[in-house]
Amino acid sequence: MDFSELEAAEGLRWPWNAWPSSRSDAAAIVVPLSVIYTPLMPLPDLPLLPYEPLSCSRCCATLNPYARVDYRSALWICPFCHDKNPFPRSHAGIADHNVPAELFPTHSTVEYLLPNKNPNPFTSPSSVLNSSFSSNTLFTSSTSSLIPLPVSAPPPMAVSAPTPAFVFVVDVCSPEEELRALKNEILHVVANLPENSLVGLVSFGSMVWVHDLGYTECSRVVLFSGDRELSSVKVQKLLGISHQRNPKQATSQPLQKQGFLLPVSECEFNFTTAVEELHNSSTALPGHRPLRATGVAISTSTALLEGCSPNFGGRIMVFTSGPATTGPGMVAETDHRKAIRTQRDIINGNAFLYRKAQNFYQKLAQKLLERSLVFDLFACSLDQVGAAEMRFPIETSGGLLILAESFESEQFKKCLRHIFKHEEADRLDMKFDATIELVTTKEVKICGALGPCLSLRNQNSLASEKEVGQGGTSSWKTSTLTSKTSIGFIFQVGGNLANEPGPVFFVQFKTRYRHGDGSIRLRATTASRRWVDRLRPLDVRTGFDQEAAATIMARVGVSRAEDYHARDVIRWLDKMLIRFTAKFGEYAPEHPSSFRLLPGFSLYPQFMYHLRRSQFIDILNYSPDETAFFRVALNREGVNGSLVMIQPALLRYGFDGPPSPALLDTSSVTPDVILLFDSYFHVVIHYGSKIAQWRKLGFDKDQRNENLWKLLEAAEMDAEELIEGRIPAPRLIRCDQHSSQARFMLARLNPSATQKTRHVDGSEVVFTDDVSLQDFLEHLQSLAVQG
């Protein structure tokens, strides 16, 4: 079975589909035991069960097809812990001819529609997830102080369908034209929001303006000083939206009078007026950056959402065009002579502001996730804005990080509109408040998650001591999930397997989230994989998924790059690759030429080659912001998307045949073809010099040259198709051979022809010191065979 078909059924990609059962064997196979999980992948025939799942009383795993069921005694045996669970009365009629959907063998993934008793996951009494939540020290401690926990009296709002809230945080230091474009976009988006969506508007320059949208007498804004960090409670108090501590008054009192966050239907006029009245108010001195209180704006918005929309999820959408220069989260001085931090500063520990800002935003992440708030950053600026510092909350909350050059750019508009895509006429396609919990066979320990989520740190027996990424837990939280969001989980097999385990192991993924229609759902996927029989080690190889492996390695590499110098990460990748090839290659020792790889492994070294050259690892040519942007995208993308990022795709459009994939090599660049290059972030239509010339001469407009016209058309259409639906939207670049814009493509091609090689007439030459793929592989072979 093809790995991608399996993925389509389960939403899972396993680098290893068969696992060695001992820790040492696992270490020997180099690529970690792991899985790429796409929680909300649209699955065909996904059953939606309108009841609560049956959970194992011991390990909390839900009932699944792998459970053994004893119909006569109405018991089921949990495949994970082998505990016996009785069926409750509701399942009284269970029999072999009458089984619930989750027991159907084909339904390894089912979705439960949970009764909407209480939208607050922290307080719903009976759910499996909740038990795990309540044992989570990290959150309970903080929530108890911040959230009123209306256990005794659930907010009346719970009756109506919860509505997401959107706070638009607008930087008014943007140039006037930029601001105009931005305002138009925002207004457009808001006009298309479902009527009951809550919206808020916060603008900031040197101060933070929270616009009161419910005040009719005049335009009213509440100001916060941009250089002071205030606690959420304080902000809420100052806004007059603080919750009453007294449980008796824990009703939605604050929701009644405040005008900062209102349904679109109630405040559209005011909102529009307020947005239209935003003007560039910065008074920066020449040679200085304007004062931007981005940090305070964000924390204020957080407090606002916390206060007004306690548990229904929301997005804080920050639109900025420059770095924060004042208050918490500040990343640059106002004086232009003091440059904003560079990669080198960060590596060398010279970025004092960077560390401080990072701390600030890390704390913010906790708050965001407590309330299921999403932090989106739209940075449209030629300068850096401090995205690197803000990355953590953005990533963990599942938000979008978009870097563009201007608010007028298509990229920006696409992304923004994409977020507000409607699922149905009055409903956004937006899932909030997700928690993912894993249950595994006891031999399998969880090291951590790599991707847009935050560990809930509920230490239990399933969590391994070894932590990778967000570890130390068996459950994670993120504020929002898209159908594409993918998270990598790293596992470890139990230390000593005294008693031989069964032939298979199980992992159950339970994702609980709030659907766009307000319902709470739980999607449970139960997967089983084989243990590798010691006697037949080849099984490991047959289960190898090199694409998933490359993706995982990329994520692991990026995660390491947060802590280590880029050079060390490359060295580490190389070392791992050498060990990997030495392990799985077929060769005669000391004979590089005898080196062979199995078909299932053959592309892996090439992936690694491109990975180590990619912007994810080789960061020195990028600003910290860009790096953050790339890495955030990588960490949330599934296997296919990740592969494009690692190894771009190249299509060739020529007169000699239909479009065909071309080698990602400089040799593919020829004058008479159009190349469509896709590196995920950039889509380049590259016209060979001849074609460019023809086009310049207007041949394509001539009816007689239908071929040329069709060729150009085909490339355009394919490019459109690539861009469509991809978020963050790639930048489409049309360029001619030898033009400056071609660099976006050339930089990623295998430099088979450089200034050092012999010049072949007509071929493209790349000026670089990087080794070419051929050299790299040769080297690899020679190292691998050394043993």
Nearer to other proteins, 222 or 550 (CB): 222
**Which is nearest to 199 in space by CA: 212, 209, 208?**
212
**Cβ proximity to other proteins, 144 vs 219, nearer residue:** 219
Task: Give whichever of 167 and 556 is closer to other proteins, judged by the CB atom.
Answer: 167
Please state the closest distance from residue 121 (CB atom) to other proteins, in A: 32
Question: 326 vs 358, which CB is nearer to other proteins?
Answer: 326
In the complex with other proteins, the residue whose CB is nearer, 212 or 389, is: 212
Write down how long the chain is. Answer: 787
Which CB sits closer to other proteins, 206 or 614?
206
Give the closest residue to 119 by CA, choosing from 150, 96, 76. 150
Whose Cβ is closer to other proteins: residue 59's or residue 241's? 241
Query: Residue 18 or 303: which CB sits closer to other proteins?
Result: 303
List binders of other proteins among 185-224 (CB under 8 A).
Answer: 206-207, 209, 212, 215, 217-224
Task: Output the smallest distance, CB 239 to other proteins, in A.
Answer: 7
Smallest distance from the beta carbon of 226 to other proteins, in angstroms?
9
- Please pick, from the candidates 188, 228, 466, 536, the single residue that binds other proteins as defined by CB under 8 A: 228
For residue 686, the minimal CB distance to other proteins (Å) is 49
Query: Contact at 8 Å (CB) between 774 and 569?
Result: no
Please, what is the Cα angle at 534 between 533 and 535, to 5 degrees?
90
Of the pair 223, 588, the CB lying nearest other proteins is at: 223
Whether residue 345 contacts residue 369, with contact meaning beta carbons closer than 8 Å, is answered with no
Please state the closest distance from residue 291 (CB atom) to other proteins, in A: 8
Enumerate residues 314-333 that contact other proteins by CB under 8 A: none
Whole-number minimum distance, CB 665 to other proteins, in Å?
A: 57
Q: Which CB sits closer to other proteins, 129 or 303?
A: 303
What Cα–Cα distance (Å) separates residue 453 from each residue in 375, 456, 533, 633, 705? 13, 9, 34, 13, 53
Among residues 592, 618, 619, 644, the alpha carbon closest in space to that of 775 is found at 592
Residue nearer to other proteins on the CB measure, 209 or 580: 209
Joined tokens for residue 492: 């470890």
Binding residue for other proteins, selected from 126, 244, 281, 593, defined by CB under 8 A: 281
Q: What is the CA radius of gyration of the chain?
A: 27
Residue among 281 and 594 whose Cβ is closer to other proteins: 281
- Is the backbone peptide bond immediately before 728 cis, with ω within 30 degrees of 0? yes
97-124 in b/e form (b: 16+ CB < 10 A) is: eeebebbeeebbbbbbbbeeebbbbbbb
> CB of 206: closest distance to other proteins in angstroms?
5
Q: Is 126 an interacting residue with respect to other proteins (CB under 8 A)?
A: no
Smallest gap, in angstroms, from Cβ of residue 240 to other proteins? 8
Where does 545-654 have alpha helices with state H?
546-561, 566-584, 604-613, 624-636, 639-646
Rounded least distance, CB 237 to other proteins, Å: 8
Which residue among 106, 231, 265, 273 contacts other proteins (CB under 8 A)? 273
Q: Which stretch binds other proteins (CB under 8 A): 275-283, 557-565, 654-662, 671-679?
A: 275-283
Report in angstroms how near the CB of residue 209 gets to other proteins at its nearest. 8
Size of the site for other proteins (CB under 8 A): 24
- Of 57 and 283, nearer to other proteins (C-beta) is 283
- Whose Cβ is closer to other proteins: residue 168's or residue 224's? 224
The values of phi and psi at residue 750, to 5°, are: -65, 120
Kindly state the smallest distance separating residue 264's Cβ from other proteins, in Å: 20
Task: Report in angstroms the alpha-carbon separations of 427 from 373, 399, 481.
Answer: 18, 19, 16
Which window, 62-70, 276-284, 455-463, 520-528, contacts other proteins (CB under 8 A)? 276-284
Q: What is the full DSSP assignment across 113-159?
A: EE--S-S-TTT-SS-HHHHHHHT-HHHHHHHHHH----SSS--GGGT
376: helix, strand or coil? strand
Separation between Cα atoms, residue 148 and residue 310, nearest integer Å? 9
Name the residue among 667, 634, 669 with its Cα closest to residue 554: 634
| Complex with other proteins: residue 217 or 563, whichever CB lies closer | 217
Counting Cβ atoms within 10 Å, is residue 337 exposed (0-12), middle (13-18) or buried (19+)? exposed
* Alpha helix segments (H runs only) across 277-335: 294-308
Please state the closest distance from residue 561 (CB atom) to other proteins, in A. 40
Q: Which residues, 6 or more positions from 506, have their beta carbon under 8 angstroms from its beta carbon?
A: 66, 79, 80, 439, 440, 441, 526, 527, 528
Smallest distance, Å, CB 675 to other proteins? Answer: 52
Site map 229..268 versus other proteins, x via CB under 8 A: -x---x---xxx----------------------------
Q: Among residue numbers 727 through 746, which ones bind other proteins (CB under 8 A)?
A: none
The footprint of other proteins on residues 438-497 (CB under 8 A) is: none
CB of 219 to other proteins, least distance (A): 4
For the CB of residue 357, give the shortest distance to other proteins in the complex, in Å.
Answer: 22
In this structure, the strands spanning 165-171 and 198-204 are parallel
For other proteins, which residue of 70, 176, 177, 277 counts as binding (CB under 8 A)?
277
CB-based contacts of 375, cutoff 8 Å, min separation 6: 298, 315, 316, 318, 364, 368, 390, 393, 394, 397, 399
Contact range with other proteins by CB under 8 A, out of 226-234, 505-513, 598-606, 732-740: 226-234
What is the torsional sign of CA 495, 499, 503, 506? negative
283 touching other proteins, by CB under 8 A: yes
**CB within 8 Å of 529: residues ≥ 6 apart:** 14, 17, 18, 19, 504, 505, 507, 543
Residue 367 makes CB contacts below 8 A (sequence gap 6+) with: 142, 146, 232, 302, 306, 373
The residue among 222 and 487 lying less far from other proteins, judged by its C-beta, is 222
SS3 assignment, position 592: strand
Tell which phi-psi region holds residue 546, choosing left (phi > 0), alpha (psi between -120 and 50) or beta: alpha
The distance of closest approach from Cβ of residue 361 to other proteins in the complex, given in angstroms and rounded to an integer, is 22
Of the residues 225, 528, 689, 705, which one makes contact with other proteins according to CB under 8 A: 225
- Closest by CA to 440, choosing from 457, 464, 456, 458, is 464
Contact residues for other proteins (CB under 8 A)? 206-207, 209, 212, 215, 217-225, 228, 230, 234, 238-240, 273, 277, 281, 283
